[in-house]
Structure 1
Amino acid sequence: MAKIQTIKNQIDLIKQIQHVTRAMKTISAVRWRTGKKILENAKTFSNSLLRLNEIVHLHYREELITPHPPRGFALIGIFSDKGLVGGFNVTLAHKMKAFMEDQEHEGNKPHLIILGTQGINQFHKNPYEVLLTHSLPVQQTPHYQDVREILYTVRSFHEQQIFSHLYIAHNQYLSVNEYRPIIQRVIPIPMQGINLPTEIQADLRLRTDILSTTPTLVERLTFEYVASQLYVFLIESFLSEQATRLKIMDAATSHSEDMIHSLQVAYQKRRQEKITQELNEVTSASQVLGTI
């Protein structure tokens, strides 16, 4: 009888776990849908800022500040704040480590900025200088103001000439079933180049005497562009994380259903064996009593 009760207890335990996996799956699906709506607007905003930077560089190339000589680079890694995401963080960390090793071989000194507590675990024994660590909210998509606050700190390191180049590593969202770890440079801004007719260039001529000096204008536009890019990458990482967790929880739910089915079959088999055994005992006792 104890064996039957053990199986029943296992079934009850797995059903409790199944309630958790189903709830996490539903929550991840809701967060994924919410983030997906925000991503397109964020990309449009960032592309507009990139175009503004290109226009400024097109018109004021001679007036721009001479960039500082290369002084090494900073690499921002965007990780998850919670677990249950499979190889989401490990794969990105491996790519970052390979990138930093390659840069070191070229004589560039690396500095790390880690967003997401799971990233701290990935680099707790690394030999590189960590300039900043920051947790990320898992409950909702990142807010643009939060991104700006993080970037103010990052900009202070740049102003101290700790680094001259800034890269961001994240898991780029491709679809609900696919993401890929990538590393992109954001400082200096990777200009795509624009080719505008002369009359349009004249219309787009910015009045720096009204807005600010040219260097200040460039500094502000650069900051906003980097902030918008970081925001896009954070949302993409958030989407990739939620999609990954959704798939893992869905697989766990399906696996638990298979386990429950197997245990129920075993339970019914053991129960039938117990009933058969009891019937045999009753029949044997009846036969013995009949002979007395």
Structure 2
Amino acid sequence: MAERLSDVEARIDSVRQLSMVISAMRGIASVRSHEASARLPGIRDYADTIGSAIAQALALFKGADIAPDADGEASGRLLVLALCAEQGFVGAFNTHILDAVQALIDAAGADRSDILMVGTRGIAAARERGLEPAESMVMTGHADQLTALANRLADRLFARLQGGAVSRVVIVGAQPPEARKTTDTVVPQTLIPFDFARFPATNRAQAPLVHLPAPILLERLTNEYVFAQLCEALTLSYAAENEARMRAMIAARENVARKVDELTATARRLRQEQITEELIELASAVKE
């Protein structure tokens, strides 16, 4: 009986240590999620500034200039940028993203689609589904490195576009609850073909001073806006991953608390049984 009681008490100590680890992981995830969310206003202000410049650049197209086709639907190869989790303990985070990726691949055809995937855990989960990424990247572990990651991702994307390997690009990433405009956790976003209809041409009283032909200026502004979209998507995904981990840790801590209560009740029962046995032994000795 004493040995069983000591085993239960040892398990209680072990579970309480696990609870401390879970609380620490929850705290880290919370801090990282807030750090990422704090960067979003600056990223969106930057994107708005570039968008305003695009609207002014569109007004420069005159006569023989060929304005971009905002309504054209690309029919070539599809590239899906899938932003998954780098680390574990995120619940169904990767599942939701891969479901959306699978739907896009099924609609376009596996022979006309490629996947560029970010996030080690997502890559492993994708391969279990039979989805093999054409390229993969590691998701950063710190919010300060998100811009550098967006730069590397943009380099790979533009290299594929310039090589004519793809003509349609869709980014699939999760969003934290506070950033969602709908109830959907994952909303695919089309990057290419670029939707110029979002930026109606703006005619100012004084035309902007430019040193580049309108098509080249617009191309560079468009590339910059796509980079801003990548920064926002990666930041949202990073925040959502850590928010999902925080929720998972909250649930784990509740489970651990219940387990501690169960083990404590068991220890009390075993201790009482041990005391009862000792009293019985003492009473028997007195009678003898």
TM-score norm. by structure 2 comes to 0.88
Distance in 2 (alpha carbons) for counterparts of 1:153 and 1:282: 80
Aligned to 1:251: 251
Partner Cα distance (1:254, 1:158) in 2: 48
Residue among 176, 184, 194 paired with 2:200: 194
The structure that is strand-richer by fraction is 1
Please state whether the residue corresponding to 2:143 is helix, strand or coil.
coil
AA at the equivalent of 2:98? A
The equivalent residue for 1:76 is 81
Q: What residue is the counterpart of 1:48 in the other structure? A: 49
Taking the aligned partners of 2:132 and 2:179, their CA distance within structure 1 comes to: 34
- The 2-side partners of 1:127 and 1:8 are apart by 46
**Relative to 1, partners in 2 of residues 1:50 and 1:86: Cα closer, same or farther, differing over 3 Å?**
same
Counterpart residue number, 1:216: 216
Q: Deviation above 4 Å: which 4+ runs of structure 1?
A: 64-69, 125-129, 176-179
Q: In 2, distance between residues paired with 1:54 and 1:88?
A: 36
Match of residue 142 from structure 2: 139
- State the partner residue of 2:176: 173
Within 5 Å, give how 1:28-43 maps onto structure 2: 28-43=29-44
Structure 1 distance, partners of 2:209, 2:24, is 55
Deviation at 1:116, TM superposition (A): 1.1
Unpaired stretches in structure 1, ≥5 consecutive residues: none
Deviations 1:158-189 (A, max 9, x none): 01101112111100223399761111111222
Report the residue type matching 1:80 in the other structure: A
8 Å CA contact 2:57, 2:201 repeated in 1: no
* C-alpha deviation, 1:125, in angstroms: 5.9
Rounded to whole Å, the distance in 2 between the matches of 1:236 and 1:91 is: 15
Distance 1:142 1:235 in 2: 10
Moved more, 54-63 or 242-251: 54-63
CA distance in 2, matches of 1:270, 1:263: 10
Q: Secondary structure at the match of 1:166?
A: strand
- For residues 1-292 of structure 1, what are the structure 2 equivalents within 5 Å? 1-60=2-61, 62-64=64-66, 70-104=75-109, 109-124=112-127, 130-175=133-178, 180-191=185-196, 192-194=198-200, 196=202, 198=203, 200=204, 202-203=205-206, 205-208=207-210, 210=211, 212-288=212-288
* Partner-residue secondary structure (3-state), 1:143: helix
RMSD between aligned alpha carbons? 2.5
The amino acid of 1:37's aligned partner reads A
- Check 1:26–1:269 CA distance in 2 against 1; reply closer, same or farther (3 A cut): same
TM-score, with length taken from structure 1 = 0.87
